[in-house]
Amino acid sequence: QESRFRPNAQSWAGARGLMQVMPATARQFGIAGLYDPTNSMDAGTAYLEYLQEYWQSIPDSTERIKFILASYNAGPGHVEDARRLADKFGKNPYLWDKNVAEYLLLKSKPLYYNDPVVYYGYCRGSEPYNYVKDIMKRYEHYSRFIEEGVVPEQLAVR
């Protein structure tokens, strides 16, 4: 999404490489040199596998994917904060849209990031919110090609 397939990409927050992984996250998996595409893919894949396990408590697989994507973008701590806020304000902490997503957006406002149930503070919530939305929209777009039986060679012709 963010790297635009540039292996030397670096975000404002310090995420690096094709998969835009934070160096500290990559080190957790024993991976360095994130500008190397193979290392970046290995780190991103390892992190996604970790997040898949982390969010096993979300029973619906489609919902779980949204929590994984948001966590990949902002970190699971900020998503956990948003879940606690959602629960506190009567929303479902197991649903993304119009529930946890809304409170992740609100974590950019002092009233919410200073709330006692919030442990990780301020979050530019619009970034993970839009990241999830964009990735899910792209997934739906590409899924239509699979449903229509379009093979990769045919995509170039379109």
Active-site residues, by number, are 2
**CA–CA separation, 86 and 153 (whole Å):** 45
**CA–CA separation, 8 and 129 (whole Å):** 25
Q: How many C-beta atoms surround the C-beta of residue 2 within 10 A? A: 15
Q: Residue by residue, what is the 3-state secondary structure of 32-85? A: CCCCCHHHHHHHHHHHHHHHHHHCCCCCCHHHHHHHHHHHHHHCHHHHHHHHHH
For residues 76 and 107, is the Cβ–Cβ distance under 8 A? no
For residues 42 and 24, is the Cβ–Cβ distance under 8 A? no
Long-range contacts of residues 87-92, Cβ cutoff 8 Å, at least 24 apart: 88/115, 88/117
